[in-house]
Amino acid sequence: MPATEIRFVWLFVFFDLPVGTKPERRDATRFRNFLKDDGFMMLQYSVYARVCRGEDGSMKHVARVTRNLPGKGSVRALQVTDRQYGRMRLLLGEATKTESVGSRQMVLL
pTM of the predicted structure, to 2 decimals: 0.82
pLDDT tens, residue by residue, 79-94: 999 889 889 888 888 8
User: Is 17 among the domain residues?
Assistant: yes
User: Is 3 among the domain residues?
Assistant: no
Q: Which CATH number is 25's domain given?
A: 3.30.70.240
User: Is 80 among the domain residues?
Assistant: yes
**What's the CA gap between 19 and 8, in Å, rounded?**
34
pLDDT tens, residue by residue, 65-79: 999 999 999 999 999
pLDDT tens, residue by residue, 3-35: 567 789 999 999 999 999 999 999 999 999 999
What pLDDT band is residue 105 in, cutting at 50, 70 and 90?
Answer: very low
User: Is 56 among the domain residues?
Assistant: yes
**What's the CA gap between 59 and 61, in Å, rounded?**
5
**What's the CA gap between 39 and 28, in Å, rounded?**
17
Name the strand (E) or helix (H) holding 11.
strand 8-16
Indicate whether 50 pLDDT > 70.
Answer: yes
Domain limits at 56? 8-108
User: Is 27 among the domain residues?
Assistant: yes
User: Is 22 among the domain residues?
Assistant: yes
Torsions phi, psi for 29 (to 5 deg): -65, -40
